[in-house]
Amino acid sequence: MIRFENLTKGYWVRGRWQTVINDLSATLPTGKSLALLGRNGAGKSTLMRIIAGAERPTSGRVVSDGTISWPVGYGGSFHGDLTGMQNTRFIARVYGVDSDELVDFVEDFAEIGAHFHMPVRTYSSGMRSRLTFGISMGIRFDTYLVDEVTAVGDARFRIKSQAVFRARMKQASAIVVSHNPKDLYAFCDAGVVLYDGKLQFFDRLYDAIALHDELMALPPKAI
């Protein structure tokens, strides 16, 4: 269960206050893998970072009764001067998992070769994504936050990523952001639509996608 209690988030943009999430109160059910849908700029990435604890809300709070991953694909927590292996060991200690087991899993999964032992600041965006996805999948969470999970790497690596993610979903849930409906239908069984700072939950993924498509057809000022 993830519950939002009067959650608000805004930013100062060119001297004007811009509200992204507006007094949001909602509960996301346990045991559901949810597609998070919304127009560009609706606040999906902001909401994901707040759920993960990587960003603080302006007011309100997020309450959960389980463990939540950081947004998969987000490598902002990496120390650029440390190697991929050193970052992996550090994260293992933070989350209380076996360092050697996580290092072995990530090195094998990420397939970045000698770069695993080089500073992360030397990585391409693709290598950084492989590293953070590997670490995320190597730690067991109750809920995974995922942004375009299948977009990492080439076709063979995407198939590999899908397989390990599908295996994790047998014992966990997820909140997934993706522009690919096939991925959403493959990994999600329900959906939430974020618009005008509010969330609307749909028990059927089809209904969430239908509303999202309707909103996408409207001009921005009409939402």
Residue 207 domain-assigned (yes or no): yes
pLDDT digits (tens, 9 = 90+) for 59-90: 999 999 889 998 875 556 689 999 999 999 99
For residue 195, the domain's CATH number is 3.40.50.300
105 in a domain, yes or no? Answer: no
- Give CA separation, 99 vs 95, 129, 158, 178, in Å: 10, 20, 25, 31
Q: Which residues pair with 61 in a beta bridge?
A: 5
How many domains is the chain built from?
Answer: 1
The gap between the terminal CA atoms of the chain, to the nearest Å, is 28
Q: Which pLDDT tens digit goes with each residue over 177-214?
A: 988 888 899 889 999 999 988 899 999 999 999 999 99
Residue 162 lies in a domain: no
Residue 68, CA distances (Å) to 13, 32, 49, 172, 201 in order: 30, 14, 11, 10, 20
Tokens linked to 220: 């921005």
In a domain, 196, yes or no: yes
**Domain ranges, residue 47:** 1-67+142-153+171-223
Model pTM? Answer: 0.85
Task: Classify residue 184: in a domain, yes or no.
Answer: yes
